[in-house]
Amino acid sequence: MKILVVGGGGREHAIVWKLSQSPRVSRIYCAPGNGGIASMAECIEIEATDLDGITVFAREKEIDLTVVAPDDPLAMGMVDKLEANGLRAFGPRKAAARLESSKVYAKEFMKKYGIPTAEYQAFESYEDALSYLKQADFPVVVKADGLALGKGVIIASSREEAENALREMLLEGRFGDAGKRILIEEFITGPEVSILAFTDGRTAIPMVSSQDHKRVYDGDKGPNTGGMGAFSPSPFYTADIAKYVEKNIIEPTIRGMGEEGSPFKGVLYFGLMLTSDGPKVLEYNARFGDPETQAVLPRLKSDLLEIMEAVIDERLDQMQIDWDDRAAACVVLASGGYPGSYDKGIPIEIGEVTDCLLFHAGTAQGLHGLVTNGGRVLGVTALGKDLEQCIRKVYGSINRIYFKGMHYRRDIGRIKEREQ
Ligand code: AMP
Ligand code: GLY
């Protein structure tokens, strides 16, 4: 089979790596890919958001399956377009991807189907939002409705900060159309867990649990990033909690989307907070998480292609999915300056990396070898009998990787006993 993977980050490298192990895969293309993916797939110069370009390429090359991994093309309807052209695609259609592309839609959906989440109010008018703040307790969480590269969530500890966020989003257009509607949410606390699930619109099979580290510096300090590392499993996600989440969150979500007439097919990501009041949904993502995927897929023993096909053909109920009992951790190496501005084209030196997987994100093949080409550059993943062993292996390998300005967190997987 000929496969096309859309995207070019660490998540896509992990997906390409896993799919390349499937005996039925004969050839993999990746658009646009990166310097590491190029060693196991043919990278093509088409942007992940180029719906026409991807569709034309898939038709010309007679691609058997296109895997759409990033949020933007899913929100733009790439899967709908591929299907309309008679092509097979993995990922939710545009209407189902709204669970991620509109936070207001996701909240209204959760309210309608009784899915536990933080209390909220939605606003389009600055004046209305401002007057709501008058009776609010702080902190509150202000969120832009649409996709904002993970930057559209502001935790405002005072009225002044909240008012600033409202002004930036609703009056100054900081996030463009994505910030024309906003949510003001109740601030909730507890450990965060990411649960990714395969779903064919009727059946959902959760993957092993994971957790990502969003802040740039150790101890969860500094600004939010796309994710500085992840580990799996989460020690907080016990069997009892898993059972509760399946019954009260995952199943009602899948059923509800069916009732809405937009069944969700693909990978649905549940960003959960385990509060003293029980698990609540912080957000949905309509796709594999990044960098959670780099910690979760190495633990998948089953054939990813078989699972993806079962999702598309709606026979996930007949699938058995097996996982490696070992733990996994992934540490992201970032460019100097990230998540602010950074230089590209810096040479990367990689010595002997043993017993680790190297997932490339912002890398490119330069004239004289590998160079940096983005903010998050590389993800180093190790499997181990426990988290401690993974962490030792990963940081041991990182000592053999260097590029000027490189920085990374030293505390990935070292979670506090109980947050708060
Ligand atoms: P989101 O993109 O909606 O997941 O938000 C990004 C991050 O903001 C989450 O991972 C949480 O750490 C934090 N967050 C979001 N919503 C809330 C909330 N209602 N209460 C507390 N923290 C939140
Ligand atoms: N790691 C969070 C995300 O993929 O959005």
185 pocket-lining for ligand 1 (C-beta < 6 Å): yes
The residue type of 383 is: L
Atom 3, ligand 2: residue with shortest CA distance: 289
CA of 227 to the centre of ligand 2 (A): 7
Closest CA to 55 of 34, 76, 38, 37: 76
The pLDDT value given to residue 418? 42
For residue 419, the one-letter residue type is E
Specify whether the backbone of 281 is left (phi greater than 0), alpha (psi in -120 to 50) or beta. Answer: beta
Task: Please check whether the domain covering 2-91 is classified as CATH 3.40.50.20.
Answer: yes
Residues of the chain predicted below pLDDT 50: 417-420
Ligand 1, residues 155, 272, 275, 277: which to mutate, most atoms within 8 A of Cβ? 155
Atom 1 in ligand 1: residue holding the nearest Cα: 283
| 168-192 pLDDT tens trace | 999 998 888 988 999 999 999 999 9
Q: Would the CATH topology of 192-318 be identical to that of 327-414? A: no
Q: What atom in ligand 1 is closest to the CA of residue 103?
A: 3
**Residue among 292, 296, 412 to mutate when testing ligand 2 (max atoms within 8 A of CB):** 292
Residue whose CB lies within 8 A of the most ligand 2 atoms, among 100, 210, 225, 269, for a mutation test? 269
Q: What is the distance in A from the centroid of ligand 2 to the CA of 307? A: 21
Amino acid 369 reads: G
Contact 205, 306 (CB under 8 A): no
Q: How far apart are CA 299 and CA 324, in angstroms?
A: 5
pLDDT digits (tens, 9 = 90+) for 260-319: 999 999 999 999 999 999 999 999 999 999 999 999 999 999 999 999 999 999 999 999
Ligand sitting nearest the alpha carbon of 9: 2
Nearest ligand 2 atom to the CA of 212 is 1
Q: How far does the centroid of ligand 1 lie from the alpha carbon of residue 153, in Å?
A: 7
Residues in Cβ contact with 393 at an 8 Å cutoff, skipping those fewer than 6 apart: 355, 356, 382, 384
Cα of 196 vs centre of ligand 1, distance in Å, is: 17
Which residues lie closer than 8 Å to 251 by C-beta, 6 or more apart? 204
Phi, psi of 339 (to 5 degrees): -85, 10
**Integer Cα distance of 35 and 327 in angstroms:** 27
Ligand 2: residues with CB < 6 A are 212, 227, 285, 289-290, 292
Long-range contacts of 95-99 (CB under 8 A, 24+ apart): 95/261, 95/262, 96/257, 96/262, 96/263, 96/264, 96/265, 96/266, 96/286, 97/71, 97/286, 98/262, 99/253, 99/257, 99/264, 99/268, 99/284, 99/286
Cα 201 to Cα 253: distance, rounded to the nearest angstrom: 10
Alpha-carbon 3 to chain mean position: 21
pLDDT in the model for residue 414: 87
Q: Select 119-186's CATH number: 3.10.20.90, 3.40.50.150, 3.50.50.60, 3.30.1490.20.
A: 3.30.1490.20
pLDDT for the residue 358: 98
Q: What is the CATH number of domain 192-318?
A: 3.30.470.20
Task: For residues 223 and 390, give the distance between their C-alpha atoms in angstroms, rounded to a whole number.
Answer: 26
Q: Which residue's alpha carbon is nearest to atom 2 within ligand 2? A: 289
Task: Tell the residue nearest (CA) to atom 5 of ligand 2.
Answer: 289
Ligand nearest to the CA of 10: 2
Ligand lying closest to the C-alpha of residue 183: 1
CA 393 from centre of chain: 24
Given the structure tokens 């965060």, which residue do they identify? 192
Q: In CATH, what is the architecture of 327-414?
A: Alpha-Beta Complex (3.90)
* Closest residue by Cα to residue 106 from 71, 68, 61: 71
- In this structure, the number of other CB atoms found within 10 A of the CB of residue 399 comes to 9
Pure H helices in 269-419: 292-296, 304-312, 387-398
Domain ranges of the chain: 2-91, 119-186, 192-318, 327-414
Residues contacting residue 127 through CB under 8 Å, at least 6 positions apart = none
Residue 153 Cβ inside 6 Å of ligand 1? The answer reads: yes
Pocket test for ligand 1, best of 141, 189, 211, 220 (most atoms within 8 A of CB): 141
Q: Where are the alpha helices (DSSP H) in 300-356?
A: 304-312
pLDDT given at position 106: 98
Q: Which atom of ligand 2 is nearest to the CA of 292?
A: 1
Alpha carbons 287 and 74: distance in angstroms, whole number: 9
How far does the centroid of ligand 2 lie from the alpha carbon of residue 73, in Å? 16
State the distance from the centre of ligand 2 to the C-alpha of 28, rounded, in angstroms.
24
Instruction: Give the integer Cα–Cα distance in Å for 341 and 337.
Output: 6
Reported as a single tens digit per residue, the pLDDT across 302-344 is 999 999 999 999 999 999 999 999 999 999 999 999 999 999 9
Query: Ligand 1 within 6 A of 118 CB?
Result: yes
Taking the centre of ligand 1 as the mean of its atom positions, its distance from the CA of residue 242, in whole angstroms, is 20
What's residue 417's pLDDT?
46
Q: What is the pLDDT of residue 149?
A: 77
Q: Write the residue with the smallest CA distance to atom 6 of ligand 1.
A: 153
How do 2-7 and 65-68 pair as beta strands?
A: parallel
Ligand 2 centroid to Cα of residue 170, in Å, is 25
Predicted local distance difference test score (pLDDT) of residue 420: 39
Q: Is 271 in the pocket of ligand 1 (CB under 6 A)?
A: yes
Ligand 1 atom 12, closest CA: 192
Picking from 218, 215, 206, the residue whose alpha carbon sits closest to that of residue 244 is 206
